[in-house]
Structure 1
């Protein structure tokens, strides 16, 4: 997908390969994400989706190929890497909140430590973001006092607090009880509507249909198919995608 005006994509992966020992988890991946685009990555477990997601902010290194973010190759280490990670937010399966810090402290820690924002400014912005994700009343509590869905919404607010150019979501609802899934997806749908660039690895097909600009189907370490959500879900082009959809959409 290219953007109006022809500006370069925010993220570009070219011929990316990654091995874990003898296992070839990413095989010649070519993928671009435009600014403001929501790309949803789906596919069977073990297909390389989470690894793909984690290479974009260098939580996983790659063996060959190249990844650029905002027209710069991903940095190796040091301050440049810290800067990249402040610009590419990440929301994990497990919430990764600091259990000994309050919700407000979790959300404001990054802006204060990394961005050098004053505590007062960070807390004001933190309250706005907690309001946005619907849990401003929980600001003084600790993570253990919140439900899983609330903790994941804190994790989203924490990512937003760094004012990122993009947020990566690695199966953000898979650790949640079913009744909590929708509250997190609603926040993500709101972000998508507001124009946040997002790459989302998920099993939530309803979210993919509603919020994605593009669906990328991965299996066996490769991008098998990608396209418009309506087309993908109604008329998948490959046997592999048809087989996958026939199994999950009947449940």
Structure 2
């Protein structure tokens, strides 16, 4: 299906239209069409190499698409410069490797962008940071350095950092893949709380329990394409394609 690329869907927070991405001669995203509504939790699953993380990273232009259009909150992605910085301020990102500044305290990690980009003063930024760190359960670690925290605590600090920018949507790129089981439970509990609060989330994950319990919609990808999309109950109990049926059987 082809769309008018100049007229975004005003109901959608994130919208892909006929998006393609290549690495050399390999097409890693094939004609992606996907809309994510305000307050929706969309979980993207599929085998390794399906293009899930690439799709996630195109939303804030960490990966640049070759064809098609991506809109965020009804506006096309800026190409570069100050407009791109402002655009990225509204798109939170939580990486699998945390990406905290190792030489700064957790409090400084959370307050840096609000002060530099949003222009918050120190007192305002710190008050908000303490509130968010309390929400994710690590307020007592505010003055610690990242190396002093467990993996789960560092990832929750990264979530607080993303929330500090009051983003329109938060992207999670396999946020538990580097964590042990206990830390994984901590992070997934935090993410479940965000989902219950109505946070718009796009989550790339291998955690099928999270997909089943928290997703409004499951997007199954394979070989760079969206194979099927459904609510969790429908997808896990009655997948439509042979590729999806094979995947569901393997994760059971």
TM-score by length of 2: 0.96
Give the corresponding residue for 1:242.
Answer: 245
Give the corresponding residue for 1:28.
Answer: 31
Q: Does 1:13 align with 2:19?
A: no
Q: Structure 2 residue aligned with 1:71, among 74, 84, 90? A: 74
Q: Give 1:23 shift.
A: 1.1
* Distance in 2 (alpha carbons) for counterparts of 1:69 and 1:157: 21
Q: Structure 2 residue aligned with 1:87, among 65, 87, 90? A: 90
* Distance in 2 (alpha carbons) for counterparts of 1:242 and 1:117: 49
Q: Give 1:7 shift.
A: 5.1
Q: Does 1:114 align with 2:117?
A: yes
Give the corresponding residue for 1:171.
Answer: 174
Q: Give 1:31 shift.
A: 0.3
Give the corresponding residue for 2:221.
Answer: 218
Give the corresponding residue for 1:58.
Answer: 61
- Runs of 5+ unmatched residues, structure 2: 1-8
Give the corresponding residue for 1:156.
Answer: 159
Deviations 1:175-194 (A, max 9, x none): 10122101000000000110
Q: Give 1:147 shift.
A: 0.1
Corresponding residue SS for 1:224 = strand
Deviations 1:6-54 (A, max 9, x none): 9521111010000000111000000000011000000000000000000
Q: Give 1:84 shift.
A: 1.1
Q: Give 1:83 shift.
A: 1.0
Q: Does 1:199 align with 2:206?
A: no
Q: Structure 1 residue aligned with 2:234, among 231, 234, 242? A: 231
* Distance in 2 (alpha carbons) for counterparts of 1:108 and 1:95: 16
Corresponding residue SS for 2:111 = helix
- Runs of 5+ unmatched residues, structure 1: 1-5
TM-score by length of 1: 0.96
Deviations 1:43-75 (A, max 9, x none): 000000000000011110000011111111100
* Distance in 2 (alpha carbons) for counterparts of 1:22 and 1:179: 41
* Distance in 2 (alpha carbons) for counterparts of 1:10 and 1:161: 19
How many residues align? The count is 244
Flag as ranges the 4+ runs of structure 1 deviating above 3 A.
none
Corresponding residue SS for 2:221 = strand
